[in-house]
Every structure is written in C-alpha cells, then in structure tokens.
Amino acid sequence: MRRLPGLVAATASAILAACSGSGAEQSTPSSRAGCAAGVVLEFMAPSNFQVGTGSWYAVDSDFNRDGRRDLAVINAGAVTGAGGLSVLMNATAPRAESAQFLDPVKFTTGASPQALGLADIDGDGLDDLLVGNWLGSGLSGLLPGILLPSNGALSVLLNRTPAGADEPRFLPKVDFRAGPGTGGVAAADFNRDGRIDIATTNFNTPGRGGLSVLLNRTPRGTDTPAFSDTVFYDVGAAPIGLQAKDINGDGKPDLVVGNSLGFTVSVLINRTADGATEPDFAAPLDFAVGSFGNGPETLDLEDINGDGRLDVVSPHFFTPGPGVISILVNTTPPRAATPSFAAQVVVHAGIAPEQVILEDMDGDGRRDIVVANFGEVSTGRAVVPGLPGVSVLLNRTAPGSDQIEFAPRQDHAAGSGPAGIVASDLNGDGRPDLAVANMLAIGGGLSVLMNQGCGQTP
C-alpha cells in the first residue's frame, strides 16, 4: 500500500481514500511443544481501541515500568503532526482473555508520521520514541490533492513517565534532519560507544542518499537529545523497510534496507570503528527478491532455520492475488566482509501484505511469520476476500536445514485496513498476543488479539 508510489494525500480523508516499520524482545516459554500439523493457533475475537486518524504502525514497551507492555501507535493521517503519536497504557489483568488499555494520550510529531521505533537515547533505562515523518517540516511539489515530501525529518521524544504512572509523559519532540520522505527508522549502537544511534530510509531520493545515519551525542541526564551531522548512503530505488542487526556475526549492527521500487534488499556491512565520530558502512550489496507487484516495503530479521544467522523476510504489497512473502536465508560466513544469501524462497499470505514480523507464536522455539494484510477482510472469526485480516504461518523448518518450510496460512480477524502489527505478551500468560494498527478504521483503530494457544484440528 505504502506510497502509491511516493505520494501522500493532502488531507486525512484523501489519505484514506487513496488507500481504498522495535520493541524489546519477548520471551516465549520453551515448555510448550507448539501446534501439531493441521492444528490452528487460536485467538480471542479482537478488542478494538480508537487511537487516531490513519493508524499505521505500533511498537510495545513498558513505558511506566509496571511490568505490563504498553503500546504506541503512529497516525499517518496527522498531516500537520498534531496527534501524530498515540500512547496507550496497559491495564490488562493478568491472564485476562480480553485486553484493557487506558484512553490514548496523543503527542505531536512531524508532518505525516510514517515510521516508529524505540530506543533509550539518553541512557536513563527508559525507551524513548523515534518517529520518521514522511513530510518532514515542509511541503513542496503541490499537485491536485497531493503533497510531495520535501525534506523528511526524524522526531525524538524522550520518555519521562514516572514509575507506575497511569499517564505517559514524553517531552516535546526534537527534530533532526533525515531525507525526503522519511519512511523507515532503526536504532542500534553503530560505533559501540554505549549510546544508541539511529538510521532512517528516505523514499523520495531516487538512487542517491536513500539511507541516513545519525550518531548519538546525547549527554546522560539531559532533556535535549543531540546527534552528529547526518551521513547519507546510496541504496536502491524508493527505500522504505529498514533493520539494524548483525548479518555477519562480528558483533556490529549492519543495515538492511528494503527497496520498494527496486525489487531488492540492500545490505550494508558496518565497518565503523569503536568510538568513531563518523559512521562507516560498506557499499550496499543488493539481493533480488523478484518482481512480485513491488519490492519489499517492510522487513524483519530473525533466525528462521536455527543455524545462528539472521535471515530476511519481507512482504510484497502490490502482488496480484494472494500476497507474496520473500525469504532470504543467510549464508554469510562468520565475520565475512561480503554478505551472502541463498536463492529467494516464497510463501503466501493474504491480499496486500503490508507488515511482516517474526515471532514464536506457538512456543516451539521457531520463529513464525505474522502478517498484516491490508486488502484482506475479516468478519467476526472468519476472513473473506475484501476485508482486512492477519495471517499466521507456523514455522515447520527443521533446525539447521536449508529447506525452509512453513505451514499454510491461518487467518484471523482484525480491523479495517491492517497496516502495522506487533507481537507482545499483553496479559502475562507467556504467549505473544497481537496488536494491529488499522489504517482505514473510522477515527483510527487498534485491534488486540489475545493468543489462546493451539486449538483443535480444523
């Protein structure tokens, strides 16, 4: 769905009409054996919460340190930035079958927020919020009913929520230069100086400067984040998806970029010296993922086959018919300067898959695929063509095997126009639940599906 391509509607209603990228690792109990072949992973009917206009992506964190995972959602319909970010504090009782959240508290972002991330920027032990703003702080190239991104921006909101508080508190945003059409954000300590740095993808930079890196210079104990001058790198066409994870096992976070109009994934190996004042990444190496409607828009990286290396999974939104999910199995030797991947493997999700995440949903120790399908429709417990939904593909890959295998998709109800999805244990029962940001829900919507574990054979 995403950029259509590279254009953003001038008003919230136009965005919706035109449409007609985390948190802390979650632990999953190892005592469960997972769902047997043919057995469905069960979820309770979704609980729905209004959050804002054009709800896009979500992240989870314990913002108030009460032991429960809270949620933050960006609202892409906030063209001016007012109300661009909603934070919901978790009030769900332990092991409850339905989720409960306090009313969302809204914060101002840049214009048309499109990406959301978490990182402890000031070193106080609390997750701060990082927002990539598609329209930045300015607009240009006005067409009938359409605004083109001019400069993009990264907003940082420092967390000042008191322990146990019912209401989140974040300081007003501080903006930093990114690139036109900031659409992806990732955070990691690139120079291993103990501070978390930030990278962004910039959609509206054809062929040049599509990736930005900002090294963290924030002093501890300050209320004002600070970063070095932005360094730009060239990647593929119309980059959106972005992850910062270690591809070659050398202990340094590398950058992996999904090029939505290039049908490639770019990998940039991190060569930054420890404590360096400027980032140093190798030239991107591109890996083809096939011309399935469009290239990858979101990415997730986890070890799918249990060989200790991070594999790449990405969806193709504009695929005709059932959505295509691309899998690149990592074959990079330890500490190699040149990354390598096996030939692309394809599995299928619902119509118009927008975001994919990898999480062990059934407790068998293997990462499963979970997809928000923007163009699939849910009615009650059933999913039918034309309404939105979520697909879960349980991982059946043998440990260490190069033969990737996933069970057929299992579909579950969500809201209208699912765009973003996060897996997190929201009720403390040890199972990852799902929170889905629904782009087309009236007033903006967040659907929460509580994981009930393996059910009966369908």
**Measured between alpha carbons, how far apart are the two ends of the chain, in Å?**
32
Q: Which residues pair with 276 in a beta bridge?
A: none
Element (H, E) at 156: strand 153-157
Name which of 4, 50, 105, 108 is nearest 317 in CA terms: 4
What's the pLDDT at 9? Answer: 29
DSSP states along 178-199: --TTEEEEEEE-TT-SSS-EEE
Q: What pLDDT does 204 receive? A: 79
CB 200 within 8 A of CB 119: no
3-class DSSP state of 391: strand
DSSP track, 343-387: PPEEEE-SSSEEEEEEE-SSSSSSPEEEEEETTEEEETTEEEETS
What integer pLDDT is reported at residue 333 of this predicted model? Answer: 97
pLDDT tens for the chain, residues 1 to 458: 444 322 222 222 222 232 333 333 433 334 467 899 888 899 999 999 999 889 999 999 999 999 999 999 999 888 888 889 999 999 999 999 999 999 999 999 998 899 999 999 999 999 999 999 988 754 433 333 334 445 678 999 999 999 999 999 999 999 998 888 899 999 999 999 999 999 999 987 755 669 999 999 999 989 999 999 999 999 988 899 999 999 999 999 999 999 988 889 999 999 999 999 999 999 999 999 977 667 788 999 999 999 999 999 999 887 766 789 999 999 999 999 999 999 999 999 888 899 999 999 999 999 999 999 988 654 444 445 444 489 999 999 999 999 999 999 999 989 888 999 999 999 999 999 999 999 888 766 999 999 999 987 65
What per-residue confidence (pLDDT) applies to 207?
Answer: 53
pLDDT confidence of residue 323: 84
Question: What is the pLDDT at residue 378?
Answer: 47
CA angle (312, 317, 323) in 5-degree steps: 80
Six-digit token string for 287? 């890996």
Measured between alpha carbons, how far is 297 from 206 in angstroms, rounded to an integer?
A: 15
Find the Cα–Cα–Cα–Cα dihedral 315, 317, 318, 323, rounded to 10°. Answer: 60
Q: Retrieve residue 43's tokens.
A: 């979820």
Beta-strand pair 105-107/139-143? unpaired
Q: What angle do CA 312, 281, 325 make, to 5 degrees?
A: 15
pTM (2 d.p.)? 0.88
Q: In what order do the strands lie in the sheet with 55-61?
A: 55-61, 70-75, 85-88, 105-107
The pLDDT of residue 350 is 87
Phi first, then psi: give them for residue 101, nearest 5 degrees: -130, 145
Instruction: Report the distance separating Cα 53 and Cα 63, nearest Å.
Output: 23
Beta bridge mates, 177:
153
Distances from the Cα of 85 to the Cα of 82, 139, 388, angstroms: 8, 20, 23
**In sequence order, what are the residues at sequence separation of 6 or more whose Cβ sits closer than 8 angstroms to the Cβ of residue 25?**
none
Give pLDDT, residue 241.
94
CB within 8 A of 414, min separation 6: which ones?
A: 46, 372, 378, 388, 389, 390, 436, 438, 447, 449
Which residue in the block uniquely carries the two structure tokens 């009236």? 442
What six digits make up the tokens of 122? 């000031």
- Counting beta carbons within 10 angstroms of the beta carbon of residue 275, is it exposed (0 to 12), middle (13 to 18) or buried (19 or more)? exposed
